[in-house]
Amino acid sequence: MKTFVIVALMFIIISHAFAGEFSAEGNRFILNGAPFQILSGEIHYPRVPKEYWRNRLQSLKAMGLNTVTTYVFWNQHETSPGVYDFTGDQDVAQFIRMAQEEGLYVILRPGPYICAEWEFGGFPAWLLKDGLINLRSNDQKYLNYVSTWFSVLGKVISPLLIQNGGPIIAVQIENEYGGFGRDKKYLEAIHQILLKNGFAQSLMFTSDGIKDLSKGNLSGILSVANFGPGNADEAFEALRKARPEAPLMVGEYWAGWFDEWGGKHQSLDLAPQTKDYEWMLSQGASVNLYMFHGGTSFGWMNGANSDGRNYSPDVTSYDYDSALDESGRPTKKYFAFREIISRLTGKNPSAVPELTPVITLPEFRMRRSISVFDSLPKSVKSLHPLSMEQMDQAYGYILYRARLKRSSSGHLVIEGLHDYAQVYIDGKLVGTLDRRLDQKSLKLNIRNADARLEILVENSGRINYTKAILNERKGITGNVKLSGSMIQNWEQFSLPMNNISSLKFKDEGCEGACFYESHFNLNLLGDTFLDVSKLGKGMVWINGRPLGRIWKIGPQKKLYLPAPWLKVGENVVHVFDLEGRSTWTMKGLSNSNDRLR
């Protein structure tokens, strides 16, 4: 203990010896007494394996950037109330220290809300359990949770602020709040919570879309603008109007876009982006490229969008058509931006770092399997359907079961289906319902009295944007009716699928909603791309880690599999597929040129 205290004190002394200053003075940023133009790129630490953080940061610096920007992902760190995780891919402090070791500064966006096309905008799902918390508001219960979280985060992060010898030069207050509301008292409450928890000496800022700047800013606080190609003139005019005596800064220049299930892969024309980027830098503006490297929303962490009615879940890949592709490989955009930065700054960039080699995997068959109905946990009974959150479940699937007391023909109506359901009568699949398509009812013909109704529901990703986040409980969130009559007395089976290796697989085929297991052996490690084009809808795990979602509707038909998740020798693959077949195969591809499509 004594040794730990001595080391901690030495760290504090050394850090303060290298303490710096960063401020906004007039229309310039000042770093340690000299003008500083922020050339930033966004990387999200949970979307990149920790083993690759240094490579991605080196690639960022080699493009000519001097700063990395990242959100803090609350739901990754506080997985249940009062239970915190800052280890492995969640070690945000190590990511920031690594950036400093590579000669980079850091802009921190701690939330509590982050958007980011991330599950529930970064909020922990447990906030929804009691149904009484009003998110992003002055609701004291909500603010108490935020305050507790920031008190923990502040202890982790405050030693890394520039005034304490770290690389963090600026901290964001909330995130794009102007696109959600206009309650300045709420914004000030978040500001005060940050001030009280270690961020008091930081340069702080608010970040909003062009038309939302006035709704999302705070008096005396720097405003930055978020926008995409073709809007630089309008954005700069809005910033000058909102803050005439402040530096011009672009909080997010959308150099790409994200993909949604059932849509097309997004790929933006490069020419308008390079034109914008060169013009903005030549104006002396500070710019953050969103994203510099998108990475992957591994596991269940993809978000979803909504316009208030339509629901659109995002794919696993967060490639984002960014300068570095999903697997970290430089693109044409990377080298185009690199040339602009070098020419305007007069600095020769460092060499682009080498990458992990890409390997192929021979085709292998999924030989062992078990039906989801043969691997159910104990049920929880209730009069009306319970949501996942009421079952203390955040992600995965949930099965609802009820008995229909009489034969009946009519429409089964599910009120508040979130998000995708398979409907079974006496073990037979009779139809599916998809929230994306606004499907809520299914025509049934029940011939047997005491028929068994089962509804298997997938959480396809919580909405991460707009006021729709306020009602994002998962599973069945309302009542279920048949021919107008309410069905009661339910059993719920929670299926978070967080211990897939414990299932009792059998050496036999399985059709329908099934788990599958297979193995492959490796002599040499490398990145690869799992071809999932033959699968239906579900999830893939590698060596126990949830890799990502699969869905035959595309556009994503490959899953990026990073080398650090593989092992020399035997590797185990698990798949859950709602549309499983007795015999199908999978293989790993080496081609990443089509950006994983």
Helix pair angle (92-101, 140-157), 10° resolution: 40
Whole-number pLDDT of residue 592: 56
pLDDT mean across residues, the chain: 94
Cα–Cα distance list, 316 to 226, 319, 498, 527 (Å): 24, 9, 18, 17
Residue among 50, 573, 115, 589 nearest 314 (CA): 115
- Band (pLDDT 50/70/90 cuts) for residue 373 is very high
Q: What is the pLDDT of residue 18?
A: 63
Give residue 12's pLDDT band: very low, low, confident or very high (50, 70, 90): very low
User: From the candidates 119, 252, 326, 579, which is the catalytic residue?
Assistant: 252
Q: What is the pLDDT of residue 239?
A: 95
Q: Looking at the predicted structure, is the pLDDT value of residue 96 above 70?
A: yes
pLDDT higher than threshold 50 for residue 375:
yes
Question: CB-based burial of residue 148 (10 Å sphere; 0-12 exposed, 13-18 middle, 19+ buried)?
Answer: middle
Per-residue pLDDT band for 594 (boundaries 50, 70, 90) equals: low
Distance CA 270, CA 274 (A): 6
The H-or-E segment that residue 337 falls in is helix 332-345
Q: In what order do the strands lie in the sheet with 34-36?
A: 22-25, 28-31, 34-36
pLDDT of residue 16: 46
Query: Which entry of 102, 174, 176, 326 is annotated as an active-site residue?
Result: 176
178 pLDDT more than 50: yes
* The pLDDT of residue 108: 98
Show the tokens assigned to 140: 């004291």
117 included as an active-site residue: no
CA distance 261 to 466: 19
State whether residue 282 is helix, strand or coil.
helix
Q: Cis ω on the peptide bond leading into residue 85 (within 30° of 0)? A: no
- Render pLDDT for 470-479 as a digit per residue (tens, 0 to 9): 999 999 999 9
Contact partners, residue 201, CB within 8 Å, separation at least 6: 161, 163
Band (pLDDT 50/70/90 cuts) for residue 562 is: very high
Q: Is 80's pLDDT higher than 70?
A: yes
pLDDT at 448: 85
Q: Is 339 a catalytic residue?
A: no
Sheet (strand 585-589) strand order: 361-365, 585-589, 528-531, 558-561
**Cα-based torsion angle of the residue sequence 85, 189, 106, 7 in order, rounded to the nearest 10 degrees:** -50
Q: Per-residue pLDDT tens for 285-326? A: 999 999 999 999 999 999 999 987 899 999 999 999 999 999
CA distances from 181 to 138, 225, 228, 236, 464 (A): 12, 16, 22, 23, 15
